[in-house]
Structure 1
Amino acid sequence: FPTDLESPVKSFLNILNSLMVKCPAQECNEEVSLEKYNHHVSSHKESKEALVHINKGGRPRQHLLSLTRRAQKHRLRELKIQVKEFADKEEGGDVKSVCLTLFLLALRARNEHRQADELEAIMQGRGSGLQPAVCLAIRVNTFLSCSQYHKMYRTVKAITGRQIFQPLHALRNAEKVLLPGYHPFEWQPPLKNVSSRTDVGIIDGLSGLASSVDEYPVDTIAKRFRYDSALVSALMDMEEDILEGMRSQDLDDYLNGPFTVVVKESCDGMGDVSEKHGSGPAVPEKAVRFSFTVMRITIEHGSQNVKVFEEPKPNSELCCKPLCLMLADESDHETLTAILSPLIAEREAMKGSELILEMGGIPRTFKFIFRGTGYDEKLVREVEGLEASGSVYICTLCDATRLEASQNLVFHSITRSQ
């Protein structure tokens, strides 16, 4: 019967097994006998990948990306099984993360970093858009109003089909972190006549004032921060600089102080800010800006004060923190006094207290010294309580009177310097 097979004679098998066969594996040109061929092939670690794909006749092998989804699935079936086994064993079954990471590594290996960065952003849930804080910095540095920024945001989204810039509400949320009123703090002892609330942002500069001051109508707009809240925000902005300054002085960055902060106050008119064709309320066409700069921070260490921060550019607008902005003429003594008096009262209250603020995860103590060196000759006497031109004082840098100057023409010390 044809199915009854018999093994060939032994002499034939010996001749057959002694035939030399060339190994088809890549980078292996070894010739082995047919008898040892199976053992030799199995010795290759990547036996399946090492076998040269011989495609005699038929259609040429198509590239993976040109296949249909079903054909791709079929070709990658074994790889998919291996990846799933690895993910189950090592990554808790997260096949997606394993595949994305493999793709990311392949892109980096080929120096395709831009595409890799986009993939990384998608993996972290950020997408390819800019961070809200970055968009806020772009809006501020390019002097775009909210409406101008919104137009740019809509245009870019419509043209590219992607949300690269973030909407205005996201910028406002990012702004809250940077503005006063975000960080909690405490005063010891509590400030006199100042609320203990810390979540105080922008407040009306006219709040608490009557509609007229000494029979003088207050027809102005003023916005300000509470002085202590603004100082806290400025210090938290400088957190990295302060901790780095401590490390550079070989101090442990867990020291809690007390720190002494020297603050320079500035107040000056901003000139004509009128709307040429606006329809707003009838207010003065000049503005006055009250601001401060953190000049120097020292810490008591043993018997000496160690400087951990000093402002390298004290006249730069980048380190000048706004405190109050009012539409008023700097010559308007009554309005200026009415709006600035709460600020001055807050400043005087802070002189006798210590601020407790958590920085770097540790509550730290800060004391403040205020220097009013940013006022010009006109405003210095308003804010510091001195008389204007024609007074008994001769200078805005020292406290010498005309009588003292007439008796001593040489030795005068600058008592009002920073």
Structure 2
Amino acid sequence: MGGHRFSFQVLSKAVSGRARLGRIETGHGAFETPVFMPVGTGATVKAMTTEELRSVGAEIILANTFHLMLRPGCDVVRDLGGLHGFMNWAGPILTDSGGFQVFSLAPLRKVTDEGVTFRSPIDGTAHDLTPERAMEVQSDLGADIVMALDECLSCSADREQSLQAMERTVRWAERSKKAANVARQAVFGIVQGGMFADLREESGRRTVEMDFDGYAVGGLSVGEPKSLMFEMLDVSVANLPEAKPHYVMGIGTPHDIIRAIDAGGDMFDCVLPTRNARNGLAFTSEGAVRVKHARYARDPSPLSPSCPCSTCQGYSRAYLRHLYMSNEILSARLLTYHNLYYFHCLVRAARDAIRQGRWRGIATESLPLPPEEDEQTAARQRHSQTDNSKRTTDNGQ
């Protein structure tokens, strides 16, 4: 495992807005920000090998404490070389604390100031997840960047619920930092506060006082209107130090990522490109392609004429439709490869625009953005999938 060689440097700032080009160095390599992190919750990005992840441009990936502590067990991963050795990934890895997955279990968990008691959705066994336990598991997993345990609520939470969760998240952040393996891992605190600006301001102020290596904005993209989401994002990021990286958790449509970059976000993850790929939807700069549509049955063209990825260079829409309609495994592999390639092209174009002084937020020329109304339809598909990709059993991918 690599040592804790963590640093963040702002290389360039946009002329307008809060977008910035940065560089993060870890014990397993460096990468520039803004960056998109593919979701590999169960020590795998579904349908992708680690070699394929590198070829689409991935430089850092995300794995999940909750799923790995349940299966195969953090001791197994630890004894087999940590996540890097276990999954054959030599680059940086970020693990989340498992809080989001635990809180999605609603009827199977109980929250107290001490932590969360829950029953495994796999076999029904009882488990405790405290800030100390979350840090212990993440230490065993050996990620380069680890997250403090937080309490995530739905967008419908009222002020009292949001206040209690924010206060608990702040207390858990302090305990998480004390318990973390700071000699080997960078630790990020998380800003919460629900849909209340003053609570997010207070959460940010108190979390920043603990001097984490970086800061995440949590509790967004949980069903709230887009306008409210970005209002809360702006409030949250405005209170974070410029000298530390800002991780915007769970925001993932192309337009949302660009707007979050403009708000000062540096790191992003989302299940959208992988989950939608398995359900037959490809993101392109020309708009979403739903390969099941009958109009593609004899279409010899690629998913995107402008995309140089191996899927677009080697396979037609007709063939991809055939694979999907036949329930072939190759459908998920080819569409996932394309979607992740597209998302990495998007953030690379954003980095180049900031570097070259061309950044104008959503109006930046050369960003491979699809029509926004088309994208919104694609985003809605994320929440209405009927395959086996449930939030806690499908590893959130």
Q: Which bracket does the TM-score occupy, shorter chain normalised?
A: under 0.3
* TM-score normalised over the length of structure 2: 0.21
Higher-Rg member (1/2): 1
TM-score between both structures, scaled by the size of structure 1: 0.20
